[in-house]
Amino acid sequence: MEIADRCVASIRYTLTNDAGEVIDQSPEQQPLSYLHGAGNIVPGLEKALAGRKTGDSFKVDVAPDEGYGPRHDGLVQSVPRSAFQGVDNVQPGMQFEAKTDRGPVLVRVASVDDEQVTVDGNHPLAGQTLHFAIEVADVRAATEQEQAAGQAGVAA
């Protein structure tokens, strides 16, 4: 069976950056399963998987516009440290949900000084080309429950 809309594909993957450093990978005995066509993975990877079959192995580079998008400098801002009342030790890398006029946004602390905290609302991989090494472990038809839920692994 080929990977197509309304199929559940299970893949083993290794994601690296431009320097070849591993950013993420699936556990060997636990491939990532997703519902193809439901937008559960980045668009460029989903496009590259279409038509593939169990046992296929390949590499694909996904440009930022087909991955996590470009970086937006406007999503980086300094806020007063007082905005983090109740948090004793704000550190770079911590994540918080910020309330904005467009709803909640997940932000990551980029830097901290005595008076200001710089937060970044960009996805950590925004602006980066994603380098995937893929092995298709399995392809099957999605159940009605999976199709209705828009994701793999949903039970009746």
pLDDT in tens, 91-130: 999 998 888 888 888 899 999 998 999 999 999 999 999 9
Beta strand residue intervals within the chain, DSSP E: 7-16, 22-25, 32-35, 57-62, 76-80, 95-100, 103-112, 116-120, 130-141
- Alpha helices (runs of H) in the chain, residue ranges in sequence order: 43-49, 144-149
What are 40's two structure tokens? 């559960």
pLDDT in tens, 64-78: 999 999 999 999 999
pLDDT in tens, 17-60: 999 999 999 998 999 999 999 999 999 999 999 999 999 999 99
What are 13's two structure tokens? 């993957």
* CATH code assigned at 93: 2.40.10.330
Q: How many domains does the chain have?
A: 2
Does residue 154 sit within a domain?
no
In one-letter notation, the amino acid at residue 148 is: A
Q: Are 137 and 54 in contact (CB under 8 A)?
A: yes
Beta bridge partners of 140: 8
Indicate if 18 and 34 belong to the same structural domain: yes
pTM of this prediction exceeds 0.75:
yes
Task: Quote the domain boundaries for residue 104.
Answer: 73-120
